[in-house]
């Protein structure tokens, strides 16, 4: 069974998951493996590894800057797979690659899926992948390699569309907290809370994780209240940069921020 499905299948009713995102190759080119193994050792449930891209449309300035730095450092998809293969036998939690369609198409969808399996990757998030292309071109190949393609929904996504996504995907659904780019937020207003409750009342087949904007106790608790857990990206990327790639220290600082 795919590691993502295993993780959610063994989840108790009250258990809440925490996933962290970081950009491969930032702040240093060779830090990818160390960050993953440190986060796993510290109990993070699963990790999203960003594939740096020159035009990350869904990302805010923090992750855009990280991607730029990673590219300047020399990070590439080929190198990322090499780094992941080097630690594959030590990684027991799900790894999800998050990146844009252009570099994946350039690599080739089937070679990409094959490399994912060889590197111990369980799934992918491709924010600019049209759903029709997912169904017709990506899903058949991903299914063959037992990979999960995670889809994003936003407050603007209709109930009908959400149910359609739920029926045609597996793993979990990524609930974007707002129809905006990534970046830390101080709180989730009533409109976002209403959105969370609306999706909760749909009783979807797939579990849900909430991401974009989680950086403190209020936003974390709101995500945990209405979903299986939270995904933190920009805040952790910022702290990882501030600590010059020291994932242990960055995680300490993140937990401190989540208490406030």
For the annotated catalytic residues, the residue numbers are: 48, 59
SS3 letters across the chain: CCHHHHHHHCCCCCCCEEEEEEECCCCCCCCHHHHHHHHHHCCCCEEEEECCCCCCCCCCHHHHHHHHHHHHHCCCHHHHHHHHHHHHHHCCCCEEEECCHHHHHHHCHHHHHHHHHHCCCCEEECCCCCHHHHHHHHHHHHHHCCCEEECEECCCCCHHHHHHHHHHCCCCEEEECCCCCCCCCCCCCHHHHHHHHHHHCCCCCCCEEEECCCCCHHHHHHHHHHCCEEEECHHHHHHHHHCCCCHHHHHHHHHHHHCC
CB 32 within 8 A of CB 24: yes
End-to-end CA separation in angstroms for the chain: 38
- Alpha-carbon distance 128 to 102, whole Å? 9
7 φ/ψ sector (left φ>0, alpha ψ -120 to 50, else beta): alpha
- Examine residue 27 and say whether the peptide bond preceding it is cis (omega within 30 degrees of 0): yes
């Amino acid at each position: 069974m795919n590691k993502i499905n295993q993780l959610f299948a063994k989840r108790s009713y009250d258990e809440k998951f925490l996933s962290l995102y970081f950009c491969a190759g930032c702040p240093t080119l060779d830090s990818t493996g160390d960050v993953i193994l440190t986060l796993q050792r510290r109990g993070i449930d699963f990790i999203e590894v960003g594939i740096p891209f020159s035009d990350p449309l869904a990302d805010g300035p923090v992750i855009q800057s990280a991607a730029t730095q990673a590219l300047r450092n020399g990070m590439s998809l080929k190198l990322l797979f090499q780094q992941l293969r080097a630690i594959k036998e030590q990684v027991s939690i799900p790894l999800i690659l998050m990146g844009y369609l252009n570099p994946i198409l350039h690599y080739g969808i089937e070679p990409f899926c094959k490399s994912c399996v060889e590197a111990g990757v369980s799934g992918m998030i491709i924010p600019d992948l049209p759903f029709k292309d997912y169904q017709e071109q990506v899903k058949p190949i991903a299914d063959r390699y037992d990979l999960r393609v995670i889809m994003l929904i936003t407050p603007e996504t209709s109930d009908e569309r959400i149910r359609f996504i739920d029926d045609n995907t597996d793993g979990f659904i990524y609930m974007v907290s707002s129809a905006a780019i990534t970046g830390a937020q101080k709180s989730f207003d009533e409109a976002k809370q209403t959105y969370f409750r609306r999706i909760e009342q749909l009783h979807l087949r797939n579990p849900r994780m909430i991401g974009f904007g989680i950086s403190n106790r209020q936003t974390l608790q709101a995500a945990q209240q209405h979903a299986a857990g939270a995904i933190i990206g920009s805040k952790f990327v910022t702290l990882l940069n501030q600590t010059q790639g020291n994932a242990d220290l960055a995680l300490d600082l993140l937990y401190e921020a989540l208490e406030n």
